[in-house]
Amino acid sequence: MDLEKTYDKIYRYVYFRIKDRTIAEDITQETFLRCINRKGNMQVFEIKYLYTVARNLCVDEYRRVKTETLPEDYEEAGAQYDNLEERLAVREAVAGLPLEDQEILLLRHVNNESMGTISSTLGISRFALYRKLKSAEEKLRAGLEAVDHEK
């Protein structure tokens, strides 16, 4: 697995949860440092382990600081959209989803993780994940249609 791509995936995941670039960078680095300390090197890591460590560090951060920060753009994640209006519509529709649905969509469609990796990371069965993913996609479609009808 490519270390740089894996780092970007973990960073996107952490940034999605934390919404602060500096803290997301710190947590991402801490995730990889913990993996190195546990496994000895980065050649024998599993993405599931990295997601689990990152998720736990995000929870620790929520407990440590309970302040609201303004979200910043993470341009690389939205680079696939040609115009700003479309990107804003997607962002608005995703923001209207429950956090669990947002997390599942991020892992599956932005980070392109396998169903096995996501189910292991979230601690649910593949069947439950499949149902939740389909439900989240339907809610997202409905949200995008609602945004289109408002125009």
Q: What is the pLDDT of residue 45?
A: 67
Mean pLDDT across 105-116: 89
Cα–chain center distance at 103? 5
Cβ atoms of 50 and 27 closer than 8 Å: no
Nearest to 108 by CA among 87, 129, 81, 82: 129
Taking CB atoms within 8 Å and a gap of at least 24, the contacts of 121-130 are 121/48, 121/51, 121/52, 121/55, 129/104
pLDDT-derived band of residue 74, with 50, 70 and 90 as boundaries? very low
Distance in angstroms (rounded) separating the CA atoms of residues 47 and 105: 17
Element (H, E) at 31: helix 21-39
- pLDDT exceeds cutoff 70 at 60: yes
Annotate 80-94 with DSSP letters as a single string: T-SSHHHHHHHHHHH
Other CB atoms within a 10 A radius of the CB of residue 147 amount to 18
User: pLDDT tens across 75-91, in order?
Assistant: 444 454 456 777 778 88
